[in-house]
Chain A
């Protein structure tokens, strides 16, 4: 099993550019999440999706949009990238009935 797969692994954007981070899981999990991780800040929740067709804002949603395309895929879009969005982005899915989240390898995004 691949688990949670994120693409791309690395990206450099110019201020104002847009991009979509892709995430797919093959564990048939209902809940999926997007986090950002910054030094000294831990993991902060951007958006989450409790099931196919639903999405909710997390702690730091401004500047981002998400799409739960189907049960497997949950994408994160930056419409107009800003240097403050330089971070490592993690996608995760949550095992049903057990508080175990499975994380992807992360996307290292730099906005210049």
Chain B
């Protein structure tokens, strides 16, 4: 079993829709939970991260962590065509010297 599982999609939504992206994990020792965005033929870039449980909001993006269920989510409100990319979840232990990535979900937001 992989340590981090993520539905690869692709996920296609109309502009303005609310998008929900999810990951599950097996290692209860993970403390940092991250979402990276990767545009085609580019390297990933950090979107946001949370430490331990709870929610974090940054503009149209909200990250949620439910450690009891070992489940994390990224919500995108009022999605835009520019949000079309692959979204990778990543997790690490308290010292975050190694990241464990999901396989990525490809999102397409149609104008």
Contacts and interface: CB of A to CB of B under 8 A. Distances in A.
B104 A101 contact: no
Contact of B43 (A41, A48, A90, A100): A90
A105 interface: yes
A27 interface: no
B98 A42 contact: no
Contact of A50 (B45, B97, B103): B97
Interface in A32-66: 40-45, 48, 50, 58
B99 A101 contact: yes
- Give the residue among A45, A48, A101 with the most B Cβ atoms within 10 A: A101
B72 interface: no
A31 interface: yes
B32 interface: yes
A74 interface: no
A58 B92 CA distance: 14
B42 interface: yes
Contacts, number: 51
B104 A42 contact: yes
Contact of A48 (B45, B97, B102): B97
B80 interface: no
B103 A40 contact: yes
Nearest to A35: B101
- Give the residue among A99, A100, A103, A106 with the most B Cβ atoms within 10 A: A99
Interface in B97-111: 97-99, 101-104
Contacts of A41: 103
A111 B96 CA distance: 33
B44 A43 contact: yes
Contacts of A50: 97
A82 interface: no
Interface string A1-42: 000100000000000000000000000000100000000111
Nearest to B33: A99
List of 4 A-B pairs having minimum Cβ-Cβ separation, nearest first: A103-B43, A42-B103, A99-B96, A43-B101
